[in-house]
Amino acid sequence: MMLAEMGIAPLWRLRAPPHAGPIDLPQPGAVESRIEPSAVISPASAIAPARRAPTAVEPDAHGATRPRVPPPLPEDSLVQRAGERRAARAGAAGAGGPPAAVAAMEAGEAQARRQRIMQMGWAELKPAVARCVACGLHLARTQTVFGVGDENADWLFVGEGPGAEEDARGEPFVGQAGRLLDSMLAAIELRRGENVYIANVVKCRPPNNRNPDSGEMSCCEPYLARQIELIGPRLIIALGRVAANHLLQTDASIASLRGRVHQYRSAPLIVTYHPAYLLRSLQEKGKAWVDLCFARSTMDALREGRVTGL
């Protein structure tokens, strides 16, 4: 039924791989992941340590061990601090400060901002995003689109940015593309909000649904990085080239990134097409279904401790 909704039921019968035997997953660069049916390597030792390292640990609702969220810091008035920094920068420029000094000041500010964000818990992170004016995308937004779902999810789906409906409703992946994503989730027995979290690289809608530029994505990056750290997902699915390129820091084509397990920090990451692209390119739905089957089998392997090399 769900395959029919995705429009790929006939393709599935013809093309979906069984993933029954060992899966050898060559990696770009030096990192290689291998899934073997008989290997007994606990996910706790293969994957979780890097997630746990910064803080004390506690088991979550899914039985995994995740970093304990640190207590909220005192209210972080990001907007006020940004204004103070802009004033200081204007003062440096007005005083004839050299461009290199201004650039160094901005780099230092960005680093300090990132460090503050990376210490936030959920309760502090959400309002910080809601009032963020750190890049120009805030000018045209109706509201920020933070992310939605199970904050202890095993599955994290990441798109590039909100569209018009998301901007209006404040939730990622609603509208036609969102309904297709829901069908894709259902096809591998997942549901929005149940062991699934959905987020975007940027939290504000780029005007006219253009792709976010590199400056906007790097400005918003600490929010997604902190979300990922707090969630501690077992597997990240990058939806579309923009999200995949941002998370993997590459400019490789989506075709070359599909079908392999990559890494975002300590988390395995798989790439597939963005649902909005699939709505325009119906012939690619079969490939997306293959990717979802690959993601499902990879998650099974991760749970059974059959993944090495991560």
Residue numbers at the binding site for ligand SF4 (CB under 6 A): 129, 132-135, 137-138, 144, 202-204, 216, 219-220
Between 127 and 259, name the residue whose CB sits nearer to ligand SF4: 127
> Measured from the CB of residue 201, what is the shortest distance to ligand SF4 in angstroms?
9
> Measured from the CB of residue 130, what is the shortest distance to ligand SF4 in angstroms?
8
Between 154 and 160, name the residue whose CB sits nearer to ligand SF4: 160
Between 131 and 191, name the residue whose CB sits nearer to ligand SF4: 131
Between 197 and 223, name the residue whose CB sits nearer to ligand SF4: 223
Q: What is the token pair recorded at 88?
A: 């200081």
* Cα–Cα distance measured from residue 296 to residue 222, given in angstroms and rounded to the nearest whole number: 28
Between 147 and 286, name the residue whose CB sits nearer to ligand SF4: 147
Which residue in the block uniquely carries the two structure tokens 């990441």?
158
186 close to 2: Cβ distance less than 8 angstroms: yes
Between 60 and 109, name the residue whose CB sits nearer to ligand SF4: 109
Which residue in the block uniquely carries the two structure tokens 């591998």?
188
> Measured from the CB of residue 140, what is the shortest distance to ligand SF4 in angstroms?
10
74 backbone φψ class: left, alpha, beta (φ>0; ψ -120 to 50): beta
> Measured from the CB of residue 141, what is the shortest distance to ligand SF4 in angstroms?
7
Burial class for 212, CB neighbours closer than 10 Å (0-12, 13-18, 19+): buried
> Measured from the CB of residue 158, what is the shortest distance to ligand SF4 in angstroms?
14
* Cα–Cα distance measured from residue 308 to residue 193, given in angstroms and rounded to the nearest whole number: 29
> Measured from the CB of residue 154, what is the shortest distance to ligand SF4 in angstroms?
26
